[in-house]
A = this chain, B = another copy of it.
Amino acid sequence: MKIAIVFGGSSYEHEISIVSAIAMKDVIKSELEYIFLDENREFYHIPTKTIKSKLFSTGEYKKCDKLNIKKGGFSKKAMFGEKNVEFDIVLNLIHGGDGEDGTVASLFEFFDIKYIGPRVGACSVSFNKFLTKGYASSLGIKTIPYKYFTKFDEISVDEFPVIVKPVTLGSSIGVSIVKTKEELSYALDVAFEFDNAVLIETFVPNIKEYNLAGYKIGNEIKYSIIEEPQKADFLDFDKKYLDFARTERVSVANISDELKEKLKKAFATIYNTTFNDAMIRCDFFVIDDEVYLNEINPIPGSMANYLFEDFDASIKELSKSLRLKDKIKISYDYVNKIQAAKGK
């Protein structure tokens, strides 16, 4: 099994995707190919042996072979014609824009490339926090109370503190905790810098948080362990960043079996058929023993490898279960009918 890791992207989380990708070397035993998508949306083939973060910050990656995306995969110019990059499946490891918004998922679908990662609909549901709320609610999963505003709306908040979040973007970018009315307009300016719509959520201090990852084989969800992440009031970009380099296993959250079951049930409900073919991490809150969905990470930092008993085996199992979509058979019945009716 040879896995091609696609990372980078035109994304505010470009850097952490690089760190995530490099972390995979320590936790995946299969042979890896590294395919970097730079900010100009050019693909490069990065040698697995010598990959390191400095290669990208210095721009040195531009000396690597440029790749062309095409039916079934990627190719580079060779002495005679072109040469394909050999791999069995792609692991989409582009965090944020391009990776989690459906862009490269669509590219892979369009070019018939098998990949681990969220499909387009799954991306929309998790990348847009307003859609996440609606999706969870349709499935009977609780979320923290919120209001949704666009740039042109009149915005009023009755009770503080609140969290102001741009509806898209991950990793706490553009997110502020607002404690007073006076701080609100600055927080809105920041959020609207990144997006044309925001969520304003009730801020619940000292909330219990639990993370659970998993994937589906057939109709069975394979769960990771449940972690209670260490955190400050809320994670800023710096702290979250370290998460992406994590490769050490964490300890299991010290909670009742009943709560564990509740969290797993919520995970399965959310995973549904929407997240098929992806390995996702759900971040839950628990208030008075009730489970609330905080967010869905359809491409979690370093693939949440540290939550799995045997991450390498899990990635292999998921890889083997992937299928390309069946081709749609195009018929011209209606066009022919019209032709016939016209007597042409």
Contact A56 B335 (CB under 8 A): yes
What residues of B have a CB within 8 angstroms of the CB of A130 in the complex?
Answer: 138
Interface-facing stretch out of A102-110, A251-259, A286-294, A314-322 = A102-110
What residues of B have a CB within 8 angstroms of the CB of A152 in the complex?
Answer: 219
What residues of B have a CB within 8 angstroms of the CB of A138 in the complex?
Answer: 130-131, 133-134, 137, 148
Question: Pick the contact of A57 from B109, B137, B332 — CB < 8 Å?
Answer: B332
What residues of B have a CB within 8 angstroms of the CB of A232 in the complex?
Answer: none
Given A102-B124, A152-B219, A334 and B131 touching (CB < 8 A)?
A: no
- Kindly state whether residue A123 has any CB partner on chain B within 8 Å: yes
- Kindly state whether residue A323 has any CB partner on chain B within 8 Å: no
- Kindly state whether residue A97 has any CB partner on chain B within 8 Å: yes
Contact B134 A41 (CB under 8 A): no
Contact B124 A103 (CB under 8 A): no
Contact A53 B120 (CB under 8 A): no
Contact B120 A334 (CB under 8 A): no
State A330–B96 Cα separation when bound (angstroms).
13
Which interface class (under 10, 10 to 19, 20 to 34, 35 or more) fits A? Answer: 35 or more
**How many copies of the chain does the oligomer comprise?**
2
Question: Pick the contact of A125 from B53, B131, B197, B335 — CB < 8 Å?
Answer: B131
- Kindly state whether residue A127 has any CB partner on chain B within 8 Å: yes
State A107–B102 Cα separation when bound (angstroms).
10
Contact with B along A3-17 (1 / 0, CB 8 A): 000000011101110
Contact with B along A302-340 (1 / 0, CB 8 A): 000000000000000000000000011111111110110
What residues of B have a CB within 8 angstroms of the CB of A102 in the complex?
Answer: 102, 106, 120-121, 124
State A105–B103 Cα separation when bound (angstroms).
8
Contact B120 A335 (CB under 8 A): no
Contact B335 A54 (CB under 8 A): yes
Contact B103 A109 (CB under 8 A): yes
What residues of B have a CB within 8 angstroms of the CB of A332 in the complex?
Answer: 15, 56-57
State A11–B139 Cα separation when bound (angstroms).
28
